[in-house]
Structure 1
């Protein structure tokens, strides 16, 4: 229940902030162009709060916090007194109307840059793209534990998320990824990850795992937390022991213990466990006992439980000074915009699944998770969401800002406005497209909540 309420709260905060900036862009430019603004509303429906300024504009916060709007004086919507026709939106030049409509997405773009600047000044903590273990395709390509990925297909990589995005892009394009790494000895090497060999139905949301990467920060140490009474470990191991090796095979994480114990049991006889206890390294003899695993199948067991859920310390930090953070924010904005537009292009051409389209449920969950991780992550989330609103609003779909811009560009070319009939037809088409996208987004959101 706490996660649900937190998700709802942070979604309202996020959308409220971004919508306010978007609509303020429209409002500010409209006022500079001499247009009378009737209402500035954050949210839809019945106003919960409102007040009117000296220019006659009503500022309101409405009950449904999933958008907002700026209502301007317009002869196409209601009769306008003769004395106010000069301040009506429809009587402004086409270039002024273009500026007013484009100001909303522009405000979101500027907000994105400002948020990223603040994030870089504070410092964004993350995990490096260091490999903890490799299997399958990645292992065959030469990737090994301790390798830190620094570049993928010519694109510099600082974190595991950036590396994951670069591998996902290459996989969707059915291309192999030329990757530069620094190994455990700090030597730079080049590996080629054959992502073109992934099956046609690969999961686009989990490409690194399917390629065989297990990131270092995912690995939980084999730190003993509990011991089952009358088990093989009873009287041999103690809570707080760190298992380092089993029968001569190195243990890097808790998930390796069960398979190694299984091998030891199948071999027969006792094995040696190398452990660390209170800073001292010990070698202890232990013989697994036959039993049943959690799935009910026969297993060889030693009877220990490990400490889980401990988040490792961050090992990567992106931080700049106040001035240096400006170009860094611009670069990051450009990179995020390129990734977003590239994903949209791939979905249109069929190279990416429409499962990548998310709606308010996913936004709420990510907003809550980002807020819990800290100010730096929440700023990054807001920046990405603000940029997404900018891009989506510029799509040439009627009823969105991009659709209105398309109308005005056509007006510039033909020398006169589109007919009201054509505009109305466009509005219906736009509503249908938007309803379809929203339906798909909700479907994907709900599907993501169903256990698989």
Structure 2
């Protein structure tokens, strides 16, 4: 009984933070679609957090059903003329609409309005991430560790380049370095690409050229990542850490920078998988997100909210992939429609949606398989 109780507690410690993070991210994604749709005069039938049977809900004055469903792994906004949650057009329903109803149909709006409504979801995720980072930087500041080299690993790229303990890195490829984390970010995404480091040594500045090498590095949450490594370590002395405070404008700028960094690293990883430079084994699914959410929640609510910002950027980017069923796939269809002056045929769109559904399901199965394999191996 004690074992079951402990297991249940562990599961809840993962599920509750996971649902907290996912609900925030999904709500803002769908809110982006919803607000721009209302602005364009589209009738919104349903705003759902989750899929499947409704747990509870209510209807607003404009006829939108707001609902929370039993399967909390996503959400959707359903417009007038939609056949399903993926916004596949219901041509039979559209044909039966009255002139007034047709004015509120998503599919009878100009292509630029449909594109704006679709793109609003992912961009709402980016805005949410920027807002979270901005608030966190204004409220709590940012811990900064000086980019001082405490140890150089033998035969590492840093050793070959001539780094020495006590060096302070002040710039990389001409870009000013503010903290050791700036060095880690620049190096981790530049495996096998030469970088020029400007360091202060003995009151003088010198330039060192080093090429980081790829290594498998543990992320602290049971997973590993293939990233560029230089072979230096920072001082672990707490006196080297200071908290940087931000004004609101500076925090906003830093929030945009943080969001862009996540976008850049994610796009780099996806392109690396496509070209074979990166391993797809690092892809994670709902189980992995739940596990990380629980572990981050144990650190504190600030860390969990920070994770929500990171996940928000990731979901925004994933939805922009040019796969039918996802927002990016819809945008591809609208781009083709704008170029041709008419939409693709119903058959072509139906084939595209079927292929998109198959790709999304395959991706989910593969990611879940990776999750299970990592948990089994840990």
Q: What is the TM-score of this pair, normalised by structure 2? A: 0.83
* Corresponding residue to 2:102 among 85, 91, 106: 85
1:13-63 CA distances to partner (integer Å, 9 max, x unpaired)?
Answer: 111001001101111111121111111001111111111111111101111
Name which structure has the greater RCO, CA cutoff 8 Å, separation 6+.
2
Match of 2:360 in 1: 434
Match of 2:184 in 1: 164
Query: SS of 1:38's equivalent?
Result: strand
Q: Work out the CA distance in 2 between the residues paired with 1:158 and 1:375.
A: 26
Correspondences of 1:19-30 after superposition (within 5 Å): 19-30=26-37
Q: Work out the CA distance in 2 between the residues paired with 1:127 and 1:33.
A: 48
> Any unmatched runs of 5+ in structure 1?
220-311
Match of 2:232 in 1: 213
Correspondences of 1:329-340 after superposition (within 5 Å): 329-340=255-266
Query: SS of 2:248's equivalent?
Result: coil
**Structure that is richer in helix per residue:** 2
* Corresponding residue to 1:68 among 70, 75, 93: 75
Q: Work out the CA distance in 2 between the residues paired with 1:334 and 1:445.
A: 27
Q: Work out the CA distance in 1 between the residues paired with 2:149 and 2:374.
A: 27
Query: SS of 2:52's equivalent?
Result: strand
The answer to whether the Cα contact below 8 Å between 2:132 and 2:306 also exists between their aligned partners in 1 is: yes
Q: Work out the CA distance in 2 between the residues paired with 1:372 and 1:156.
A: 34
CA drift at 1:159: 4.3
Q: Is 1:41 matched up with 2:48?
A: yes
CA drift at 1:340: 2.1
Q: Work out the CA distance in 1 between the residues paired with 2:14 and 2:205.
A: 43
Match of 1:116 in 2: 133
CA drift at 1:106: 1.6
Match of 2:198 in 1: 180
Match of 2:63 in 1: 56
Match of 2:281 in 1: 355
Match of 2:312 in 1: 386
Match of 2:173 in 1: 153
CA drift at 1:385: 1.4
The answer to whether the Cα contact below 8 Å between 1:158 and 1:316 also exists between their aligned partners in 2 is: no
The answer to whether the Cα contact below 8 Å between 1:102 and 1:401 also exists between their aligned partners in 2 is: yes
Indicate how the Cα distance of structure 1 residues 146 and 43 shifts in structure 2: closer, same or farther if over 3 A, else same.
Answer: farther
Query: SS of 1:399's equivalent?
Result: coil
Q: Work out the CA distance in 1 between the residues paired with 2:263 and 2:336.
A: 26
Indicate how the Cα distance of structure 1 residues 194 and 73 shifts in structure 2: closer, same or farther if over 3 A, else same.
Answer: closer
Q: Tell me the C-alpha RMSD between the 2 structures.
A: 2.6
Match of 2:20 in 1: 13
CA drift at 1:155: 4.0
Q: Work out the CA distance in 2 between the residues paired with 1:142 and 1:95.
A: 56
Shifted more, 352-361 versus 404-413: the winner is 352-361
Match of 1:95 in 2: 112
Q: Work out the CA distance in 2 between the residues paired with 1:97 and 1:147.
A: 55
Q: Work out the CA distance in 2 between the residues paired with 1:395 and 1:437.
A: 12
Query: SS of 1:447's equivalent?
Result: helix
Q: Is 1:203 matched up with 2:216?
A: yes
